[in-house]
Amino acid sequence: MYKIYMRNFALHQQLGCELLCAYSRITRQGLRWGSWGHQEYYGQPGSEIPKYAALLDANTPKK
pTM confidence score: 0.76
Residue 29, classed as helix, strand or coil, is: coil
Inter-residue contact 50 to 2 (CB < 8 Å):
yes
* Spatial contact of 35 and 48, defined as CB atoms under 8 Å apart: no
pLDDT bin (cut points 50, 70, 90) of residue 3 is very high
pLDDT at 6 over 70: yes
The predicted pLDDT at position 41 comes to: 82
31 — pLDDT class (breaks 50, 70, 90): low
